[in-house]
């Protein structure tokens, strides 16, 4: 059985400008999240994939990515690396979720996560 997309995320150089743009474009609202400067995306639809908008880490260019739910984040990152990916963010835990990021062999950033 495959793995589902669990979360989408916009990491922007100017997160407030991104929220203003996407809020106006799609009629989204942005409840606060535990990470300072990060907000959830509230679409108003019951079956929407959860998401968030925050600042690009380390002053970088930012990215738009999705996170795939996996049983073991470290193992998924190791497997991605064995297939030619580079690790962007190693397994990181915050209350309720562990996640990490890799860049696929073409450079596209993808996340893996596990709730719990």
Domains and CATH numbers, the chain: 7-56 (3.10.180.10), 70-116 (3.10.180.10)
**Residue 104: what pLDDT?**
93
pTM assigned to the model = 0.81
**Residue 38: what pLDDT?**
95
Q: From first to last of the 116 residues of the chain, give the pLDDT tens digit.
A: 789 999 999 999 999 999 999 999 999 999 999 889 999 999 999 999 999 999 997 777 888 999 999 999 999 999 999 999 999 999 999 889 999 999 999 888 899 999 97
Q: How far apart are CA 23 and CA 80, in angstroms?
A: 34
DSSP states of 13-81: SSHHHHHHHHHHHH--B--B-SSTT-EEEB-S-TTPPPEEEEEPGGG---EEEEEEE-S-HHHHHHHHH
Strands in 39-41's sheet, in edge-to-edge order, are 39-41, 51-55, 5-12, 63-69, 109-115, 97-103, 86-94
Q: How far apart are CA 9 and CA 53, in angstroms?
A: 6
Q: How far apart are CA 30 and CA 23, in angstroms?
A: 8
How many C-alpha atoms does 32 have within 13 Å on its Cβ side? 4
Q: How far apart are CA 3 and CA 74, in angstroms?
A: 15
Q: 70 and 113 in contact (C-beta within 8 Å)? A: yes
């Amino acid at each position: 059985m495959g793995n589902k997309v669990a979360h989408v995320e916009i990491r922007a150089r100017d997160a407030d400008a991104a929220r203003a743009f996407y809020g106006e474009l799609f009629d989204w609202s942005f409840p606060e999240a535990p990470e300072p400067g990060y907000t959830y995306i509230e679409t108003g639809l019951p079956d929407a994939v959860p998401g968030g908008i925050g600042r690009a880490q380390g002053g970088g260019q930012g990215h738009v990515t999705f996170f795939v739910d996996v049983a073991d984040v470290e193992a998924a990152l190791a497997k991605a690396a064995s297939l030619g990916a580079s690790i962007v963010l190693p397994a990181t835990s915050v209350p309720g979720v562990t996640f990490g990021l890799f860049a696929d062999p073409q450079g596209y950033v993808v996340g893996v996560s596990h709730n719990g």
